[in-house]
Amino acid sequence: MNEHALLHKPDSNFCFPVGAKQIIIRLRVMRGEPLHKVSVLHACKYDYHTARKETMMVKKYSDRYFDYYETKLDLDDVRFAYIFALDTNEGRFYFSEDGVTKEYDFNLGFYNFFQLPYINKEDVHETVEWMKSAVFYQIFVDRFLMANEQKDQSYINISWGDRPTPKSFAGGDLKGIIT
């Protein structure tokens, strides 16, 4: 198993709340890694050493170099602690803040488990109903008509029809959009 490809960051796009008691957890592994099972071992961080649940993760995404495993968890207690278990041909490995190990002492987990200490109401993004079917446009005013020809044009460095780059300025303005 390529240990260097494993990546998980708590409180990021690898672990985030989607409800008052619901989170999504992700783990990155090397693309094509021969894993039989990937799971997350989780519990309230104060009960972690005595009682844990094991939840399977599914390969949800892949890119050129990595596979991404994901699961959605409904929590009984939002003071959340977890590590990952990876089952391979060589046996079970554990992935925690200390990295990959063949053995894991759950009695000492408080020193190295991942955790999401608490879900604050402000951390949960709730999408309003109308937004779920909305279409958004990002308008680059600069790429539209320059209706105000009296303004300073010295910064314009692209002609109409040329292929723009991130540093191209065409001179369009808001008046040019509504004209």
Q: What is the mean pLDDT of the chain?
A: 91
Q: Enumerate domains of the chain plus CATH numbers.
A: 3-119 (2.60.40.10), 127-179 (no CATH)
pLDDT tens for residues 72-97? 999 988 889 999 999 999 999 999 99
Pairwise CA distance, residues 174 & 142, whole Å: 8
- pLDDT of residue 15 exceeding 90, the answer is yes
- pLDDT of residue 5 exceeding 90, the answer is yes
pLDDT tens for residues 123-179? 888 888 998 889 988 888 888 888 988 889 999 999 888 998 989 999 888 888 888
Confidence label for 119 from pLDDT (cuts 50, 70 and 90)? confident
pLDDT at res. 86: 98
pLDDT at res. 64: 96
The structure tokens listed for 90 are 């060589």
Q: Which residues contact 112 (CB under 8 A, 6 or more apart)?
A: 83, 96, 97, 98
Cα atoms in the 13 Å half-sphere on the side-chain side of 150: 1
Among residues 81, 85, 95, the alpha carbon closest in space to that of 4 is found at: 95
Strands of 11-79 (E only): list them: 15-19, 22-30, 37-44, 53-56, 58-62, 66-74
pLDDT at res. 124: 86
pLDDT at res. 82: 96
Pairwise CA distance, residues 21 & 74, whole Å: 6
